[in-house]
């Protein structure tokens, strides 16, 4: 039996269990061991127990093969402990949990562009790039960027055979878009009310079960929707920082209180 990734029969189940954060069984097992400090079958299946039908698909043999693969890759040692290489892998898998967020003051920019080309592929390459840079579309050829997009845009254009006219305008908290205050516009554009609600509920629930992988999948899923706006565009009691602080504190201090790994494979 092979441990199959996102193109296999387990792919959709993995995505469901991890709330779309991870895509393969091996990655999910590695993250579960890292969070719970347990490599026993009991704890592994408990962590996956989102629903009975899902749980039935992850039997002992599948999980054992995943752990064997992780050991072969150097992500786990012979005792089932996550190695430094494995820790680095986890941090790359879920950067929302481990990468600090720096909210600059006042660094919000409007991008207006025009690409002169008859090729749809060429015309679409710039907006695709902006989206990959976490810019948000306001209207056709108009995007909003958190942080100065100038350097990355210059590098992008220097490597392309076409020319584009681009205007970059820094925006202040008193700016208007279509007659609407920038703060109100951002609230609607990024659905900040829903984001606030999700962060607040996460903070409430985290202490109840902070060793559950599901809580960290949940945080990563919320954090991926966070545009990381500058502080001056957020309310003073914005809960995103508090939620991240809880997760960061666990990341730094939680390992000291966890049980030693047990060799079960």
Q: How far apart are CA 214 and CA 49, in angstroms?
A: 10
Q: Return the pLDDT at 192.
A: 93
Measuring CA to CA, which residue among 37, 34, 13, 35 is closest to residue 23? 13
Q: How far apart are CA 156 and CA 164, in angstroms?
A: 11
Is 177:138 a contact under the CB 8 Å cutoff? Answer: yes
Radius of gyration of the chain (CA): 22
- Find where tokens 């909210």 sit: 103
Q: What is the pLDDT of residues 228-262, one digit of tens each?
A: 888 888 888 899 888 888 887 766 555 433 333 33
Is 87:34 a contact under the CB 8 Å cutoff? Answer: yes
Question: 29 phi and psi, to 5 degrees?
Answer: -65, -45
Q: How far apart are CA 138 and CA 125, in angstroms?
A: 17
Q: Return the pLDDT at 211.
A: 60
Q: Return the pLDDT at 43.
A: 56
Is 254:215 a contact under the CB 8 Å cutoff? Answer: no
- Which residues, at least 6 apart from 170, have a Cβ–Cβ distance to it below 8 Å? 106, 107, 108, 109, 148
Q: How far apart are CA 17 and CA 119, in angstroms?
A: 41
Q: How far apart are CA 106 and CA 173, in angstroms?
A: 7
How many CA atoms lie less than 13 Å away from 37 in the CB half-sphere? 12
Q: Return the pLDDT at 193.
A: 93
Q: Return the pLDDT at 258.
A: 35
pTM (2 d.p.): 0.70
What 17-20 contacts at long range (C-beta under 8 Å, 24+ apart), as own/partner pairs, is 17/48, 17/50, 17/54, 17/217, 18/213, 18/217, 19/214, 19/217, 19/218, 19/220, 19/221, 20/221
Q: What is the pLDDT of residues 109-137, one digit of tens each?
A: 999 998 877 778 888 888 888 888 888 88
Is 44:77 a contact under the CB 8 Å cutoff? Answer: no
Q: Return the pLDDT at 3.
A: 39
Is 177:142 a contact under the CB 8 Å cutoff? Answer: no
Q: Return the pLDDT at 261.
A: 31
> What are the structural domains of the chain?
1-101+183-265 (no CATH), 108-171 (3.30.70.240)
Split the chain (265 residues) into runs of 10 and give each run's mean pLDDT: 46 74 83 69 53 53 84 88 88 77 69 84 86 85 88 86 84 82 87 94 82 80 86 86 81 44 34
Q: Return the pLDDT at 196.
A: 95
């Amino acid at each position: 039996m092979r441990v199959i990734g996102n193109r296999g029969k387990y792919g959709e189940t993995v995505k469901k269990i991890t709330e779309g954060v991870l895509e393969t069984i091996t990655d999910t097992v590695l993250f579960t061991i890292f969070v719970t400090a347990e490599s026993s079958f009991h704890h592994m299946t408990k962590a996956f127990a989102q629903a009975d039908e899902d749980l039935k698909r992850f039997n002992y043999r599948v999980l054992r093969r995943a752990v064997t693969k992780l050991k072969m890759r150097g992500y786990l040692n012979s005792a089932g402990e996550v190695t430094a290489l494995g820790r680095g892998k986890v941090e790359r898998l879920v950067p929302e949990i481990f990468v600090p967020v720096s909210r600059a003051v006042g660094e919000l920019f409007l991008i207006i562009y025009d690409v002169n080309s008859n090729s749809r592929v060429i015309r679409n390459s710039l907006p695709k790039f902006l989206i990959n840079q976490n810019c948000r579309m306001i209207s056709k050829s108009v995007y909003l960027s958190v942080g100065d997009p100038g350097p990355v845009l210059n590098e992008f254009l220097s490597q392309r055979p076409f020319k584009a006219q681009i205007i970059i305008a820094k925006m202040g908290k008193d700016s208007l878009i279509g007659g609407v205050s920038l703060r109100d516009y951002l609230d609607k554009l990024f659905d900040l009310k829903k984001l606030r609600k999700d962060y607040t509920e996460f903070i409430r629930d985290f202490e109840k079960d902070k060793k559950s992988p599901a809580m960290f999948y949940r945080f990563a899923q919320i954090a991926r929707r966070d545009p990381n706006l500058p502080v001056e565009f957020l309310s003073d009691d914005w809960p995103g920082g508090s939620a991240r602080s809880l997760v960061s504190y666990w990341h730094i201090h939680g390992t000291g209180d966890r049980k030693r790994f047990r060799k079960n494979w």
